[in-house]
Structure 1
Amino acid sequence: WASNQGLLGRQGTFAEYAAVDECWLYPTPERVSQREAAAMGLVGITAHLGLFRDARIQPGQSLFVHGGSGGVGSAVVQMAKAVGARVITPAGSEAKAEACRQLGADVVVNYHTADVDEAIRQFAPHGLDIWWETLREQDFERIVGHLALRGRIIVMAGRDAKPSFPVGPFYVKDCSLHGFAMFNAPPETQRKCAEDINRWMTEGKLRAKIARVMPLSETAAAHRLQEENTLQSAGTLAGKIVLEP
């Protein structure tokens, strides 16, 4: 099977050609570039699953997301705004803060110069509806303390983390915790995500956050750059790396 049509999917990374079951491929709109499609596939589906399947986000609800200028975080910010939610996110530099504002975040807090917890309390005096955690080491005491009644926590990182958990404050507020890996979602679920992603990208409500475009021959260097930021928190990458042949 072959096609010259643009396709969105997550298999075949680092390959010029790939054989993929068609159930995992989704047509991309004509006005969406191959770079954007490549950068949005994994992070977009991840954001969609967490926000709509697990967090059940609704218009007007409040959301905190770590890493609003990153790959997944930027998709979370834009999708939440696309459905009328309110978003607050921290940033470590003015450049990243401005990037989050451009994505639509209602409040951006520079955690080097301002009190993030106080900003959250002002943003959501009655507590947050959703806390999207991207950090590999979670502080659930802090998170649960900021949640509203029936607040939801979304966790998608920290495979080796073993944090303490405030069971009492968590259950008396009817809160819920959702951990997930997008790779476990069946093809029909991911296809529904892709349909919304395509529509929002066509409407200009969703843009891929591309931090770096590198040639395929520099794959090793791209891995080092990604690992420096994912594992060592270098802070030198805001968005996705796209490799091109």
Structure 2
Amino acid sequence: MKAAFINEPGPPEAIQYGDLDRPEPGPSEVLLKVAAVAVNPIDTYIRSGTVAMQLPKPFIVGCDVAGMVEAVGADVKGLRPGQRVWGSNQGLLGRQGTFAEYAAVDAKWLYPTPDGVGDAQAAAISLVGITAWLGLVRDAKLAPGETLFVNGGSGGVGSTVVQMAKAIGAKVITTGGNDENLEACRELGADVAINYHDSDLDEQIKQAAPDGINVWWETLREPTFDRTVEMLAPRGRMILMAGRDARPEFPVGPFYVKGCSLFGFAMFNATPKEQQSAAKDINRWLASGALRPRIDRLMPLSETAKAHRLQEEATLGGKGTLSGKLVLAPDID
């Protein structure tokens, strides 16, 4: 089978595209014929060695996947050949990745794809959808009528947070870097979309949320806690999911006096049960149209190295060149 893989961590150019043996599913595993995969920042960190994890050799890159069940292991219940499924959590913690024509995946990390939802959509929502659910539902417990702020509402995670928060019933304030992205945020359901280049950005946020922000979803790699805590409502909650190397100052007194809470998490540390709960809500919202993953472009699997370079330029380089997810497929040229 064709696959995108590395033999040692390195730059995007370390990714090779070539032939590997097709995997055989173990007793608890499902063999998938891969239809679509999606790139995430964590994929680039693992490939580069920035995040050190045990890697099989050769190591197939990638976390997210959508496709069709080809075969199931002897212990697998609830999934059958011919069924369409999606999932994430591959390419992590010693597990083999998904950027190949076939993937062997433990059934506990897979979920049925709803009718009417394409494989590209399912792959694009996988990691970002589970991430958004964990932060909004499991941790912050966002409630209808509350106000949420998320930086960068047109990106992969940001656009998912916007839609999920609206599906829950919250008021959503977000930012974008240009008119096109701001309009995209409004189309996704944002109540207020502000250009983050505006000199009076904070004043506009305060005007939109005069009683403060109930849940602040931080996507910036270098958060400014003094600014954020000032704008949080009493008992406000802040979600952190970026800035692995950040060491910002923290206003301890104002934070605890307001009764605020701070949640930080990495999606791949969540249990299978937690992620299955996320998948149920995600599938319901996908089926109803309340959740529509934003895809920047569709690329052939053979261009995985190029996709990793594009993702790094956007995530680490701050170029703002992506408006959604990079989705790749084995069967396009």
1:161 to 228, 246, 265: 246
* TM-score normalised according to structure 2 size: 0.72
1:116 aligns with 2:174: no
Q: Secondary structure at the match of 1:69?
A: coil
What displacement does 1:218 show? 0.6
Paired with 1:238 and 1:84, the residues of 2 have a C-alpha distance of 24
Name the count of aligned residue pairs. 245
Paired with 2:152 and 2:198, the residues of 1 have a C-alpha distance of 17
1:6 to 67, 75, 84: 84
Structure with higher helix content: 1
Residue of structure 1 equivalent to 2:54: none
1:186 aligns with 2:283: no
Paired with 1:112 and 1:170, the residues of 2 have a C-alpha distance of 27
1:52 aligns with 2:137: yes
Paired with 1:112 and 1:154, the residues of 2 have a C-alpha distance of 22
Residue of structure 2 equivalent to 1:36: 121
Moved over 2 A (4+): 111-114
Paired with 1:111 and 1:35, the residues of 2 have a C-alpha distance of 30
What displacement does 1:138 show? 0.7
1:77 to 139, 158, 162: 162
- Pairs within 5 Å for 1:137-152: 137-152=222-237
Decide whether aligned partners of structure 1 residues 95 and 114 sit closer, same or farther in structure 2, where only a CA change above 3 A counts: farther
Structure with higher strand content: 2
1:208 aligns with 2:288: no
Paired with 2:291 and 2:199, the residues of 1 have a C-alpha distance of 28
1:96 to 160, 170, 181: 181
Q: Deviations over 1:50-91 (max 9, x none)?
A: 001111100000000011000111110001000110000011
- Supply the AA of the counterpart residue of 1:180: F
Q: Secondary structure at the match of 1:20?
A: strand
* TM-score normalised according to structure 1 size: 0.98
Q: Secondary structure at the match of 2:292?
A: coil
Q: Which has the larger radius of gyration?
A: 2
Paired with 2:313 and 2:204, the residues of 1 have a C-alpha distance of 29
Q: Taking every aligned residue pair, what percent have the same amino acid on both sides?
A: 66
Paired with 2:328 and 2:134, the residues of 1 have a C-alpha distance of 25
What displacement does 1:14 show? 1.0
Higher relative CO (Cα under 8 Å, sequence separation at least 6) belongs to 1
- Supply the AA of the counterpart residue of 1:116: L
1:218 aligns with 2:296: no
Residue of structure 1 equivalent to 2:258: 173
Q: Deviations over 1:194-226 (max 9, x none)?
A: 010001011000001100111011111000000
What displacement does 1:13 show? 2.5
Q: Deviations over 1:2-26 (max 9, x none)?
A: 2322111112431211111101100
- Supply the AA of the counterpart residue of 1:60: G
Q: Secondary structure at the match of 2:268?
A: helix
Q: Secondary structure at the match of 1:19?
A: strand
Residue of structure 2 equivalent to 1:131: 216
Which segment drifts farther, 220-229 or 113-122? 113-122
List alignment gaps of at least 5 residues for structure 2. 1-29, 31-70, 72-80, 91-96
Tell me the C-alpha RMSD between the 2 structures: 0.9
